[in-house]
Amino acid sequence: MGNSTELPGLDRSVHCPLAPRRSVAADAAVRDNQRGREPSVSQSASVVIVGGGIIGCAIAAELVQRGWRSVRVLERATVGGQAVIAYAGLLALPGSGSTDDPLSELGAASLARFPAVAADLRERTGIDVELRHTGGLVLAMTADEETALRAALPVLRGRDAACCWLDQHELRHLEPAVSPLFRGALLLPYEHQVLSPRLVEAYARAAALGGARIEEGVEVIGFERDSDRVVAVRTRTDRIAAEHVIIAAGAWSGALAALLGVPLPLGPLRGQLVRLHAWDTRIRHTLYRGDLYLAVKADGTVAVGSTEELAVYDRRPTLEGVRQLVTFVHETVPALGRAAFLEALAGLRPWSADDLPVLGRLPGYENVWVASGHARHGVLLSPITAFLMVELLEGKQPALSLAPFDPARFAR
């Protein structure tokens, strides 16, 4: 064991994550998984990333960009499964907006990186992630809603001085299709969007072009440890020796940490989204009310999201979820009643017990790292997460304090 022998066939595993079908090697791996065969192959990597979601792919792209070699992303299903569902692709800043709110700070730092990241990905891969500056409107129907939104204004103006309250007349002028039942809205001028399926595609392709191996249909089922180090990860067919292991397995990250004897309260927060096609309704801003939103995408479709359902591992949309979203559409932009219903989607957001991302070294381990728990903000937070995780791997002091996101906080 412990050597870095690679079977020649496995070198052909999926390099381009966008290839429409698996490689011969990946197909063989899936067959072996199904037969439950014992691991038989020994290989090695400098970094093994468990999970090919937007976070795992963003980290892989950052690693190869900084010159890391022998990076492998192991994805048990297909790359970017959840990001495709996160079709809204909102770069909506989380938290209160206050400078002492760590999630706000992380979000703002990530948003600031997006123009450069989008340009860099386009140059490296030719993929346009459709970064668009749309602005957001948080709608108020009741007096209480208005009071709460106005109260948030002073702090939000610290984020962007152009944040302001729009009365009903101003709102109708800006967005005529919004229902006249709304009494006003908070304007958030800094909001942006991307096409999230394209973003994960671009990260994965940038990583692959930089030499990373992105392997689909490969499930990590265990780890081999030697005191405070993991020396290898085990898939159903292979043993891969690793210098570093990054757990970026979304809602399943907690289960993987548990295999290493570390309890991390990370689980699924299901979200549902519906997609519409509207030919004759113009909406420029992203519209919010509470947790729900409606956003027109660069391809002309409308994304309406998203529900929040705890501890559900089922990825099928429900009638109740769709009803909630359709009701929101009718109340917000009645003309969308004429829009074509394209599809309903459901995905599992990785959610931590304190609602903050989990970024850093796994307690008790020298070379195991966790990057998960991004909940509703994984698309927004992907650039900063990738940057900070690689800083950590390189032993640098991150520019932003990661203490609030330290996995060790749950052990205290």
Ligand X SMILES: Cc1cc2nc3c(=O)[nH]c(=O)nc-3n(C[C@H](O)[C@H](O)[C@H](O)COP(=O)(O)OP(=O)(O)OC[C@H]3O[C@@H](n4cnc5c(N)ncnc54)[C@H](O)[C@@H]3O)c2cc1C
Interacting residue ranges for ligand X, rule: CB under 6 A: 50-56, 74-77, 81-83, 85-86, 88-90, 219-220, 248-252, 256, 271, 273, 305-306, 347, 349-350, 372, 374-380
- Name the β-bridge partners of 272: 346
CB of 138 to ligand X, least distance (A): 15
Show the tokens assigned to 27: 């197909």
CB of 55 to ligand X, least distance (A): 4
Q: Using alpha carbons only, what angle is made at residue 212 by residues 207 and 218, rounded to the nearest 5 degrees? A: 110
CB of 385 to ligand X, least distance (A): 9
Q: Which residues contact 189 (CB under 8 A, 6 or more apart)?
A: 135, 160, 162, 163
3-state SS class at 105: helix
CB nearer to ligand X: give 184 or 332: 332
For CA atoms 393, 398, 400, 402, give the dihedral sign. positive
CB nearer to ligand X: give 291 or 366: 291
CB nearer to ligand X: give 45 or 88: 88
For CA atoms 320, 324, 325, 326, give the dihedral sign. positive
Amino acid at 205: R
CB of 57 to ligand X, least distance (A): 7
CB of 9 to ligand X, least distance (A): 20
CB 121 within 8 A of CB 127: yes
Q: Exposed, middle or buried: residue 25 (CB in 10 Å: 0-12, 13-18, 19+)?
A: buried
Q: Around Cβ 5, how many Cβ atoms within 10 Å?
A: 9
CB nearer to ligand X: give 185 or 220: 220
Helices and strands in the chain: count of H runs, count of E runs: 10, 20
CB nearer to ligand X: give 124 or 376: 376
CB nearer to ligand X: give 187 or 251: 251
CB nearer to ligand X: give 32 or 146: 32
CB of 379 to ligand X, least distance (A): 3
Q: Which residues contact 115 (CB under 8 A, 6 or more apart)?
A: 131
CB of 180 to ligand X, least distance (A): 27
